Structure 1
Amino acid sequence: MKQIGYINDDNDLDAIFAALADPTRRAILKRLSDGEASVGELASPFAMSQPAISKHLKVLENAGLVERNIDKQKRPARLKADNMAIAVGWLEEFKHFWGTRFNELDTLLTKLKLEENKNE
């Protein structure tokens, strides 16, 4: 029997969702989807310091969503989507649930509309 809510690998789903919970970190991931960037480039659209952006990057690194390489004095960050796929996979388990619920709601609304039209 498959246990729902548990993953059987070394990735930490809690860390992934915690990292994705912050809007600044989501914006950083969106920016990195266009290609690697330095801390300065990532900080430019935000009203925060480079050290603050570095802290956000560290959270993303710990969740396995970003990796950074040392390139002389730079440490460009790049998106590492493997762990994001784990979160997407976990969310996919609920796709059928919500699809079924929306179909039931659609059926109910259609029935109510037919009854309303019949009473007019």
Structure 2
Amino acid sequence: MPDALEVAAEPNRRRLLQLLASGERTVTELAGHFTVTRSAISQHLLLLETVHLVVARKEGRSRYYSLDPAGMARLRALVEQFWNAELELLARDAELLAARKTASAAEDLTKDSP
């Protein structure tokens, strides 16, 4: 089974999540925002539902989709975990680079001294 981050990364599914952030919508309402077929949108929604990012309810002949708050919280935690790890690596790299520049500058001063 794919993970939520992988599923949400696809541009059409990401757009569906953005549209659903404003509230519940039918497949037909959502499909109106895309150039792909309604069937394709349904498949994207089914995958989003599989990884618990959206929930669906049926009313008559219509299916209404909305964001799954618990699933979206897990996705946010995954993104934050990734982002925090990346920021830590960038900060460490910046510190190493600064230390190298300081050492190099000190070495240049030593070479220039009589």
> Rg larger in 1 or in 2?
2
- The number of aligned residues is 108
Structure 2, unaligned runs of 5 or more: 110-114
TM-score, normalisation: structure 1: 0.70
Note the aligned Cα RMSD (angstroms).
2.6
Residue 64 of structure 2 corresponds to 76
**Aligned: 1:27 with 2:15:** yes
Instruction: Write 1 or 2 for the structure with the bigger share of strand.
Output: 2
Amino acid at match of 1:83: G
Matched, 1:67 2:58: no
Match of 2:74 among 74, 86, 101: 86
Separation in structure 2 between the aligned mates of residue 19 and residue 96 of structure 1, nearest angstrom? 21
The list of structure 1 runs, each at least 4 consecutive aligned residues, that deviate by more than 6 angstroms after superposition, is none
- Identity within the alignment, %: 29
* Counterparts of 2:82 and 2:17, CA distance in 1: 24
Residue of structure 2 equivalent to 1:4: none
Query: Larger helix proportion, structure 1 or 2?
Result: 2
TM-score w.r.t. the length of structure 2 is 0.73
Q: Does the CA-based 8 Å contact 2:5-2:78 persist in structure 1?
A: no
Query: Any residues of structure 2 matched to 1:9-24 within 5 Å, and which?
Result: 14-24=2-12
